[in-house]
Structure 1
């Protein structure tokens, strides 16, 4: 019988807060209850913001919480070749393209559309505008010049081509709090042509998380509700790359007093601060609503 495999995958670009504690503890609790394994993965693609010092502090916080995980810890920065190989496969399928529009050009295209049409520009579930496409903004000659000059670009998934290649409705398995698994309909078209890598960044969250979960044999992905809709994109990539489908559980978020999701960038309820104030692991469990 295959043992279930769970993972907690933080990014060392700030201090862990109560929201991370909820996710980490849920993964640990569920792994223990299922007689499964718990892995830690360090998502350190952003080499400018992710530091060894923050990683060490993060692992210290997790150990203090009582988590016990298998070694070695997987670091994404040590596996860029895996992501490059996956991108090569997708490119061979004809579902990748280089988008040369800058962020400023995208903003201007959105503003021009909304002024001209008098309606909001199409946006993804996170509220970001869908990619308008180079041809809608740039002359063909300009696109060619940028390509010839090796200008900055984003490698984007051609969602239309990808879905046409799959030609099947997509769903994922969602584990509810009652222990029952339901099939959820996925609508990846709502995300448009998502970024899978950039000229100077060898992968994106969408690509790396899907590939890492498969390479590590993750059977249960337990993460925050804010990633619920993104699962549709992950299912497309899993199908294209022939990767196993895990079971998902998207748990509630820990919100601040103002109702927003906690953020590392704003130093919300950092575990290290709570530790320094005398909190114990059982206090953290109580704060995040775990018995």
Structure 2
């Protein structure tokens, strides 16, 4: 099987050292195996995604010496695919509309007892099911849509190849409601979600190996469940270590001081970046 990897940044800010690590890891894995490396622009958020950031991220990746084997795929061009998947899940009774605000969810969860924290899932506090119902009629277009995870979950497994976590991890279906909860699969402002779009696009692009940060380990459990539900192929997942600052905090787009463009402006070269990253 030919190895196909991808890097999928969002054009919502500058690329930093953490992005460079993720992109180089995926690129070098494909090249070492004689495979293909693809670029996907995750621009489903119309408010935060900007053409300026898209142009800069392509410039930064090119400067790093990375090449991709097809024209970049943009999620904003693929809404019809996401709509079809949502219609399928709705028709099977697996989605329901939700009007809850963050405050509504906090109130429904109630104040935790002293020394007891709320259960946290990949997207924050596990949703308490305040709006959960059996869907009726046509799928609404102006509300968040949540996946009824208890109805959807069944025994699933995925391959984890990160150092120290090698082997197959087995997750029982009954664990999903307590550890993940009813995740949002469509947001009313842009009609899909990261979880839904990423599994559909990985399948469409023929991705065989997904390299991602260890912070997305729990999200991977959502993705393998969606792959089961939508009858999609399952890639091999490799969760790599995160790049952190001197205080141990994970780098984010707010960390402009570590933006690749600033290293470039200061005279650094691609090999300097690789050395900084231990690559």
Q: Same fold (TM over 0.5)?
A: yes
- Measure how far apart 1:63 and its partner are: 0.5
Q: How far apart, CA to CA, are the structure 2 residues paired with 1:27 and 1:132?
A: 37
Aligned to 1:98: 97
1:144-203 residue CA offsets vs partner (Å, 9 max, x unmatched): xxx9xx89631001000002xx4xx2111112449x961112354311000001222211
Q: Displaced runs of 4+ in structure 1, greater than 4 A? A: none
Equivalent residues in 2 for 1:49-198, closer than 5 Å = 49-110=48-109, 112-114=110-112, 119-125=116-122, 128-134=124-130, 153-163=143-153, 166=154, 169-177=155-163, 182-186=167-171, 187-189=175-177, 190-198=179-187
Verify the 8 A CA contact 1:175 1:248 in the aligned structure 2: yes
Which structure carries more helix by proportion? 1
SS at match of 2:14: coil
- Residue 104 of structure 1, CA deviation: 1.7
Q: Distance in 2 between matches of 1:42 and 1:188?
A: 29
Is residue 272 from structure 1 mapped to residue 261 from structure 2 by the alignment? yes
Q: Distance in 2 between matches of 1:183 and 1:255?
A: 28
Which structure 2 segments of 5+ residues have no match?
Answer: none
CA-to-partner distance for each residue in 1:206-257, whole Å, 9 max, x for gaps? 0000110001100000111110111110011000000001001000000011
Contact 1:96 1:158 in 2 (8 A): yes
RMSD (Å), alpha carbons = 2.3
SS in 2 for 1:228: helix
- 1:102–1:274 Cα change, 3 Å: same
The number of residue pairs the alignment matches comes to 270
Confirm or deny: 8 A CA contact 2:18 2:243 kept in the other structure.
yes
Contact kept? 2:39, 2:73, Cα under 8 Å = yes
Alignment correspondent of 2:9: 10
Q: Within 2, Cα distance between the matches of 1:120 and 1:232?
A: 22
Is 216-225 or 193-202 further displaced after alignment? 193-202
Write the mapping of 1:208-247 to structure 2, written as runs, cut at 5 A.
208-247=197-236
- In structure 2, how many angstroms separate the alpha carbons of the residues matched to 1:135 and 1:200? 19
Question: What is the CA-CA distance between 1:103 and the residue it aligns to?
Answer: 1.5
C-alpha contact (below 8 Å) 2:128/2:181 kept by paired residues: no
- The answer to whether the 8 Å contact 1:99/1:133 transfers is no
Query: Cα offset for 1:133?
Result: 2.2
Computing the radius of gyration over CA atoms, which structure comes out larger, 1 or 2?
1
Stretches of structure 1 that go unaligned for 5 or more consecutive residues are: 141-146
Distance 1:285 1:50 in 2: 27
Q: CA deviation at 1:17?
A: 0.3
- TM-score calculated relative to the size of structure 2: 0.90
Normalising by structure 1, we get a TM-score of: 0.87
